[in-house]
Chains A and B, each alone.
Chain A
Amino acid sequence: MNTKKKRKMFRLNSSLLSSLIAILIGLIFGIVVLAISNPQQALNGIRTLLLGGFTAGGIKGLGNVLYYAMPIIMTGLGVGFAFQTSLFNIGGSGQFIVGAYCALLVAIRCDFPGPLGWIAPLIAGMIGGALWALLPGLLRAYLDVNIVIATIMMNYIGMYLVNFLVKNTIYDSLKNQSLPVPKGNTLPSAGLDKLFSSSMANIGIFIAIIMAVVIYILLNKTTFGYEIKACGRNRDASRYAGINEKRNIILSMMISGALVGLGGALMYLSDAGKHIKVVDVIASEGFDGIAVALLAMNNPLGIIFSAIFIAYLQVSGFYMQTYRFTYEIVDVIISVIIYFSAFSLIIKQMIDKYRLRIDKKKSGSQIPEKEV
């Protein structure tokens, strides 16, 4: 019994292991594609893919990884939170850009003094994102509208609406984008700029990590979190237990949207030269959030790491362009990883079965206790 417990301690959690397997398959696929598409540069390409964050950019590259991880930690948290109520919030793109717009509007047009200069825009971003997710939540709760289609439609509506609003309120007509944020209202760098030698990392990464911890506590240590999860597992049973499922669906969507909106606010309030461009393209961060959440199996703490991993790949992809590889190879790899993480259930079962067999062998004729 004791040895068995010990063995378990050294074992990786089987859901973590199945995520790692998905990542491995995705990377191998990417390497094969690189090798086939351009054999001469393949070695350089692969090296950059795997080590890009360190080698090509040095310590600065690592700071940039944190900068790119910041928004997708938030979108990942948002998507993951809605998943807990088994709502597939594919509308991250819309919530992200609406949140970003609200934040920019407050940061540029209302000049709050001191730290309120960047705190107020962040709150505005959260409110914007929450409101953009509220409508699909209401439609789902009261009218049984398919949440996937509803949130996708909100992506396009949000994109066109924000383009329109940017043009009419905070427009830089020369560059066809939003005005820059006044210096005092950007996110403070909290010493990270010195640590990573003038990279784009700032206090936002701490905010994102704190939010992840808050969401973890909310989901695992509070009654509200329990209700949210219960609604996701079995809607009928939770209604029978006296949980107001409609209210929980709406709240879950709003919190999800608020998290995603905060991600948009953090990204565009950073002093990194990022502006809302008036083009008819929906924000990719919303979709990255889906990958991040799936890879972490919706665990808020896991999301921090999976977001850093995806951001790392993105920075690598950026540097791979020096070897004439298209950036999209990163998206190819990420999509293969998501595809295989969709199998996580099967992979997990296989791992558990395999481990049970090993346990049986080791304990000889003894019948092993049923694993829970």
Chain B
Amino acid sequence: MNSLVFLIQQTMIFFVPLMIVALGAMYSERSGVLNIALEGVMVFGAFWGILFINKFQATLPSGWVLFIAIIISMVMGLIFSVFHAFAAINLKADQTISSTALNTFATAFCIFFARVVQDVEQVNFKNTFRISKIPVLGDMPFIGPAFFQNTYVTTFLGILILFISSFVLYKTKFGLRLRSCGENPQAADSVGINVYKMRYIGVLISGALGGLGGLVYVIPTSTMFNSTVGGYGFLAMTVLVFGQWKPSKIFFAALFFGLTKTIGAAYSGVPFLYKLGIPDTVYKMLPYVATLLVLTFASKRAPGPAAAGQPYDKGKR
């Protein structure tokens, strides 16, 4: 039973950032812009958030530090994604290429900047944000320890974002317009929707959520940040495909990947898995192999937004 609780707590740590970033990617792709730059956006957002924590942790109360760091990460992620939006929407550039450039840029720039301000590339921080137990809820049998002990505010923030996204996408005028721009921008334009504007909004939301996801990923898993999120932004893209671009399915897809990642990272803490004697490498490869397998089955079934990846050209028929 204890292993199961441990497994669930660990899964939450990996699952929440994946879901947040995948939801971000959903906004972008639903509006018609591929955003493979999310890996870079995560790095960039997390970097500024963690740098803030590093500088102000000693002076401000920990709740405020986390709150402001979240805001900073979201804003920086948003600003970073403007470059992708500009390239993809205004200049009609190849979206994969500009994404690749931004991914390289984020890591290189953050390492460079960290070295300039503090001489080493690792940004250290103390993890003072863990909530050891939420009153009342944490006392429930099984559910309490699994979901309401050793948890983070960000976990619940992630769930909140899931519900809001689901509502926005399907129940609001904005959601309908966003989706139409990703399916048939010409038709959307013909009824007076500003395709460029909707696409900008989609990419910017994905940037904000990507930055947040970066911070949420780094805080529980480490005590220092060296400008990498280990391919997490790419995993989030897969979650999006596996989740068929729908919030509710993204939730389950992220849960699945969170679990495989947890098994890969923390199998030695689960006696049952540890005793199997399977080499370390197999566990480390697990999330990536699972991704490939899942894609194999999921790709044919869900084609995704029809116009995703194509620049919108008003003159084209």
A binds B: yes
Using a CB–CB cutoff of 8 Å, the interface residues on chain A facing chain B are: 33, 37-38, 88, 90, 135, 139, 143-146, 148-150, 152-157, 160-161, 163-164, 280, 287, 290-291, 294, 326, 328-332, 334-336, 338-339, 341-343, 345-346
**B133-167, CB under 8 A of A: which get 1 and which 0?**
00000000000000000000000000000000000
B116 CB–A CB distance under 8 Å? yes
A-B contact pairs, 16 of them (CB 8 A): A143-B296, A143-B300, A144-B300, A149-B241, A149-B291, A152-B234, A153-B234, A156-B288, A160-B285, A326-B116, A328-B109, A335-B104, A338-B97, A338-B101, A339-B98, A342-B97
**B201-241, CB under 8 A of A: which get 1 and which 0?**
00000000000000000000000000000010010011001
CA distance A181 to B266 in the complex (A): 36
Q: Are B87 and A145 in contact (CB under 8 A)?
A: no
Q: Are A37 and B281 in contact (CB under 8 A)?
A: no
Q: Are B300 and A336 in contact (CB under 8 A)?
A: no
CA distance A173 to B241 in the complex (A): 41
Q: Are A37 and B109 in contact (CB under 8 A)?
A: no
Known: A161-B285, A345-B92. 19 other contacts (CB 8 A): A38-B116, A90-B100, A149-B241, A149-B295, A153-B291, A153-B295, A156-B231, A156-B288, A157-B285, A157-B292, A160-B285, A160-B288, A164-B279, A164-B281, A328-B112, A330-B108, A331-B105, A331-B107, A343-B87
Known: A326-B115, A336-B105, A339-B105. A149 touches B281 (CB 8 A): no
Find chain A residues with CB under 8 A from B109 CB.
328, 332
Q: Which of B1-45 contact A (CB under 8 A)?
A: 36
Q: Are A139 and B296 in contact (CB under 8 A)?
A: yes
B284 CB–A CB distance under 8 Å? yes
Find chain A residues with CB under 8 A from B295 CB.
139, 143, 145-146, 149-150, 153
CA distance A159 to B108 in the complex (A): 21
Find chain A residues with CB under 8 A from B181 CB.
none
B123 CB–A CB distance under 8 Å? no
Find chain B residues with CB under 8 A from A143 CB.
295-296, 299-300
Q: Which of B80-132 contact A (CB under 8 A)?
A: 83, 87, 91-94, 96-98, 100-102, 104-105, 107-109, 111-112, 115-116, 121
CA distance A169 to B74 in the complex (A): 46
CA distance A139 to B87 in the complex (A): 30
Report the minimal beta-carbon distance from B9 to chain A, rounded to whole angstroms: 24
Find chain B residues with CB under 8 A from A336 CB.
101, 105
Find chain A residues with CB under 8 A from B234 CB.
149, 152-153
Chain B interface residue count, Cβ-Cβ cutoff 8 angstroms: 40
Find chain B residues with CB under 8 A from A33 CB.
112
Q: Name the residue of chain A whose CB is nearest to the CB of B84.
A: A339
**B282-314, CB under 8 A of A: which get 1 and which 0?**
001100110110011001100000000000000
Q: Are B108 and A88 in contact (CB under 8 A)?
A: no
Q: Name the residue of chain A whose CB is nearest to the CB of B109.
A: A332
Q: Are B237 and A338 in contact (CB under 8 A)?
A: no
Q: Are B96 and A339 in contact (CB under 8 A)?
A: no
Find chain A residues with CB under 8 A from B111 CB.
326, 328
Q: Name the residue of chain A whose CB is nearest to the CB of B304.
A: A146
Report the minimal beta-carbon distance from B81 to chain A, rounded to whole angstroms: 13
Q: Are B93 and A342 in contact (CB under 8 A)?
A: yes
Q: Name the residue of chain B whose CB is nearest to the CB of A329.
A: B112
Report the minimal beta-carbon distance from B233 to chain A, rounded to whole angstroms: 10
**Contacting residue for B100 out of A37, A145, A290, CB 8 A:** A290
